Amino acid sequence: MAEIVGGVGCSHVPAVGAALDNGKSGNEVWKPYFDTLPPAREWIEEKKPDVCIVVYNDHASAFSMQLIPTFTLGVAPEFQPADEGFGPRKVPTVEGDPDLAWHLAESLILDEFDMTIANEMDVDHGLTVPLSVMFGQPENWPTKVIPLAVNVVQFPPPTGHRCYMLGKALRRAIDSYPGAERVVVFGTGGMSHQLQGERAGLVNSEWDSQFMDNLVSNPAEQAQVPHVEYLREAGTEGVELVMWLIMRGAMNDSVEEVYRSIYVPTSNTSNGLIVLDNA
């Protein structure tokens, strides 16, 4: 059967993608941040996943106010980087895995998670920046990718508990796939950030570290935390962190924390990365 070999929690700060795309990752501003990444990159290179399931959010690129699905699974053979206003990022086309993705759709829907199915979906910084963080700038992405988009932009987003339960259903789906795929699940977005309004620039690293501690050791408890705590402590866009609970739900109850960092500033938000092993 297919096997989940690890999980990654990763912010999706667009400036990180722009720094790489514009050849600035080695300059004095960016080098200290990019110097934090090698342990995570070495881990995923050693794990040799065949497929990454990337739980992420679209920012009105593939979707819009006309259509706001809560959970969307991408089943296409490929996904193009989205044009977010400055042209698409110059990163490789994302190659999908239709066979596994359709299996996930069937398993999740029959398991009572009503996924929207996307045969065509451009992917924005929410998906491509975490790939850049973990894989750098390859000619082609080294794994297939199944996008799982979550609405966290238009309220109400799904609860942390619903996300955690979806992760567990994802685990059952992967466990029942008759392939030999090695799978890494990414939960992306966050950490604390408030992009607009009076509290713009809010960074609460103490709360972010506590979120990571709970994610590792008390995920079921973290899943009970209501949206209003994310908003109050981590800013309106901090609610993106519920997506990390989908990743965590797909992992073993007990996981090994391989790596973590919380880096500020790469923008006016908190940039977090955590790597969990299903040891």
Binding site for ligand DHB (CB under 6 A): 12-15, 59, 193, 195, 237, 267, 269
Name the token pair of 122: 């451009």
Q: Please say which residue, 252 or 267, places its beta carbon nearer to ligand DHB.
A: 267
Cβ distance 167 to 249 under 8 Å? yes
CA-nearest of 38, 171, 201 to 107 is 171
Cis peptide before 191 (omega within 30 of 0): yes
Q: Which of 12, 59, 125, 227 is catalytic?
A: 125
Active site residue 59: no
Q: Please say which residue, 117 or 195, places its beta carbon nearer to ligand DHB.
A: 195
Q: Please say which residue, 83 or 256, places its beta carbon nearer to ligand DHB.
A: 83
**Residue 59 Cβ vs ligand DHB, minimum distance, rounded to whole Å:** 5
CA-nearest of 11, 26, 58, 59 to 264 is 11
**Residue 17 Cβ vs ligand DHB, minimum distance, rounded to whole Å:** 10
Q: Please say which residue, 14 or 272, places its beta carbon nearer to ligand DHB.
A: 14
- Residue closest to ligand DHB, measured at CB: 267
CA distance 76 to 98: 6
**Residue 123 Cβ vs ligand DHB, minimum distance, rounded to whole Å:** 13
Q: Which of 12, 59, 103, 193 is catalytic?
A: 193
Cβ distance 259 to 246 under 8 Å? no
In Å, what is the CA distance from 159 to each residue of 6, 26, 152, 170?
23, 39, 10, 16
Active site residue 125: yes
Q: Please say which residue, 59 or 171, places its beta carbon nearer to ligand DHB.
A: 59
Cβ distance 52 to 135 under 8 Å? no
**Residue 15 Cβ vs ligand DHB, minimum distance, rounded to whole Å:** 6
**Residue 100 Cβ vs ligand DHB, minimum distance, rounded to whole Å:** 27
Which residues are annotated as catalytic?
125, 193
